[in-house]
């Protein structure tokens, strides 16, 4: 049940909720209602761990209030709004309209997920209408942005646009941009019964230890991926990623959402394929998948270090032709990206792990997952099957 907390004061935190930890980052969260709290915990587990509430910051609080939402909508219409960078995604910097309040707070209107972000110092309020489940994604984005920025404060942490699974005790890292075949290949490997999900889109690697940490991200499943792996959508609502377990059980999986794109949480993505999840693992190999018509099934090839460095640098998360503006949440954490340091870390990692390209032909996903895993040039010095 969603609870309306309009009676709470407009400012000030209750110092309750949960502290979520990711690597060395700790963020206090008040999800606003029991349903959102349960959904968030299901979504980010096991990658984030929940701890008892304590007095820490940054702090994130969700307020579900029709009156306060309407008040902010009125102020937005009367204010001189300007684009404010909010979330640094793999291929784009997401900005939303915002304005400054007399008390020094900055308010941002997220029309995509139907909520407002009110940022004052190291405290963030997320204002939404009651019953708006889309605002859960706004909460997830804020928590993830703060947590990854906090984790990246470690001097040897590298941020990759990558999918990854754990095979044996080692992480198999798939690096590439959109439509490189990462998600489909990942689904193929998870369906083998021998791999656990580490991440579907974003991976942090501590280059000194080569420890990789998965970052939980919504999984929009492409039509061709679902067609190859129909188990992904079996028995689930199309927007299952926005629902916790009890909410999914109460809904008709075919219902009014039929025809909509399938969107899953990472744990749902793994579970539908019969796979477990893993929070971290030591990197055993980095693979650069490529869709190709030159092979029928698949072909793995070792990659020289110099070429691997170039490809890995292209696979850095939030990579682009130039530096991005700092986001509003970077101002909360004080974390600023250092492009030169990122390149040095990528070169270091590429020099320490096996690298390979994988050509994926039209028949790449026909019963070959176990053979593919066994063909990997894994660094087995500290683990692996």
Determine the angle formed by the axes of helices 339-350 and 305-314, rounding to 10 degrees: 140
State yes or no: pLDDT of 196 exceeds 90. Answer: yes
In this prediction, residue 176 carries a pLDDT of 84
Note the residue count of the chain.
Answer: 385
The overall average pLDDT reported for the chain is: 89
State yes or no: pLDDT of 333 exceeds 60. Answer: yes
pTM of the full predicted structure? 0.91
Closest of 169, 171, 264 to residue 214, by C-alpha: 171
Partners of 28 in the β-ladder:
19, 59
Within 229-367, where are the H helices?
245-249, 266-272, 305-314, 328-333, 339-350
- The band of 273, judged by pLDDT with boundaries at 50, 70 and 90, is very high
- The band of 282, judged by pLDDT with boundaries at 50, 70 and 90, is very high
Give the pLDDT mean for 316-321.
Answer: 79
Higher-pLDDT residue of 161 and 252 is: 161
DSSP 150-208: HHTTSTTEEEEEEEEEEETTEEEEEE--TTSSHHHHHHHHHTTTSEEEEESSEEEEETT
In this prediction, residue 330 carries a pLDDT of 87
Partners of 63 in the β-ladder:
127
Closest of 370, 355, 359 to residue 300, by C-alpha: 359
- Distance, in Å, from the CA atom of 114 to the CA atom of 66, rounded to the nearest integer, reads 12
Give the CA distances from residue 51 to residues 21, 26, 217, 316, 335, in Å, rounded to whole numbers and listed in that order: 7, 9, 21, 31, 24
In this prediction, residue 332 carries a pLDDT of 82
Contact criterion met (CB below 8 Å) for 13 and 61: yes
Name the token pair of 144: 């993830």
In this prediction, residue 4 carries a pLDDT of 36
In this prediction, residue 249 carries a pLDDT of 87
- Distance, in Å, from the CA atom of 364 to the CA atom of 292, rounded to the nearest integer, reads 10
State yes or no: pLDDT of 85 exceeds 80. Answer: yes
Domains defined along the chain, listed by start? 18-151 (no CATH), 157-374 (3.40.50)
In this prediction, residue 385 carries a pLDDT of 56
- The band of 9, judged by pLDDT with boundaries at 50, 70 and 90, is very low
Q: Which residues have CB under 8 Å from 187's CB, separation 6+? A: 225, 228, 229, 232, 269, 273
In this prediction, residue 150 carries a pLDDT of 93
- The band of 321, judged by pLDDT with boundaries at 50, 70 and 90, is low
Measured in whole angstroms, the distance separating CA 221 from the mean position of its chain's CA atoms is: 14
- Distance, in Å, from the CA atom of 97 to the CA atom of 166, rounded to the nearest integer, reads 40
Q: DSSP code of 277?
A: B
State yes or no: pLDDT of 323 exceeds 80. Answer: no
Secondary structure of residue 66 in the 3-state scheme? helix
State yes or no: pLDDT of 180 exceeds 90. Answer: no
State yes or no: pLDDT of 336 exceeds 70. Answer: no
- Distance, in Å, from the CA atom of 48 to the CA atom of 50, rounded to the nearest integer, reads 7
Give the pLDDT mean for 47-70.
Answer: 91
Closest of 348, 231, 373, 357 to residue 304, by C-alpha: 357
Phi, psi of 368 (to 5 degrees): -115, 10
348-382, pLDDT tens digit by residue? 999 999 999 999 999 999 878 999 999 999 986 65
State yes or no: pLDDT of 256 exceeds 60. Answer: no
Give the CA distances from residue 225 to residues 175, 183, 216, 219, in Å, rounded to whole numbers and listed in that order: 18, 8, 19, 11
Q: Within the chain, how many helices (H) and strands (E) appear?
A: 11, 19
- The band of 16, judged by pLDDT with boundaries at 50, 70 and 90, is low
In this prediction, residue 366 carries a pLDDT of 86
């Amino acid at each position: 049940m969603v609870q309306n907390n309009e009676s709470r004061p407009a400012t000030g935190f209750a110092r309750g909720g949960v502290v979520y930890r990711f690597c060395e980052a700790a963020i206090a969260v008040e999800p606003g209602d029991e349903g959102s709290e349960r959904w968030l915990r299901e979504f980010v587990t096991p990658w984030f761990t929940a701890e008892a509430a304590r007095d820490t910051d940054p702090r994130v609080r969700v307020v579900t209030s029709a009156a306060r939402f309407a008040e902010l909508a009125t102020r937005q219409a009367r204010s001189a709004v300007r684009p404010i960078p909010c979330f640094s995604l793999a291929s784009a910097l997401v900005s939303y309209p915002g304005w400054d309040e007399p008390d020094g707070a900055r308010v941002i209107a997220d029309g995509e997920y139907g909520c407002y972000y009110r940022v004052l110092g190291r405290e963030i309020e997320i204002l939404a209408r009651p019953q708006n489940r889309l605002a859960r994604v706004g909460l997830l984005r804020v928590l993830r942005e703060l947590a990854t920025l906090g984790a990246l404060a470690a001097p040897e942490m590298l941020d990759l646009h990558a999918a990854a699974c754990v095979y044996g005790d080692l992480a198999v890292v798939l690096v590439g941009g959109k439509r490189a075949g990462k998600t489909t290949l990942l689904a193929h490997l998870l369906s083998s019964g021998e791999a656990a999900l580490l991440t579907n889109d974003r991976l942090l690697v501590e280059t000194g230890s080569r420890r990789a940490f998965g970052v939980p991200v919504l999984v929009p499943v492409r039509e061709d991926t679902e067609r190859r792996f129909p188990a992904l959508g079996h028995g689930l609502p199309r927007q299952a990623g926005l629902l916790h377990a009890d909410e999914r059980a109460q809904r008709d999986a075919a219902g009014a959402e039929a025809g909509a794109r399938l969107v899953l949480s990472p744990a749902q993505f793994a579970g539908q394929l019969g796979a477990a999840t893993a929070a971290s693992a030591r990197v055993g190999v980095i693979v650069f998948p490529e869709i190709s018509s030159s092979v029928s099934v698949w072909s793995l090839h070792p990659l020289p270090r110099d070429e691997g460095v170039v490809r890995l640098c292209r696979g850095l998360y939030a990579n682009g032709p130039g530096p991005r503006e700092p986001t509003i949440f970077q101002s909360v954490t004080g974390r600023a990206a250092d492009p030169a340091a990122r390149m040095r870390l990528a070169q270091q990692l590429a020099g320490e792990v096996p690298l390979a390209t994988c050509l994926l032909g039209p028949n790449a996903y026909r019963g070959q997952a176990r053979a593919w895993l066994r063909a990997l040039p894994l660094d087995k010095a500290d683990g692996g099957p």
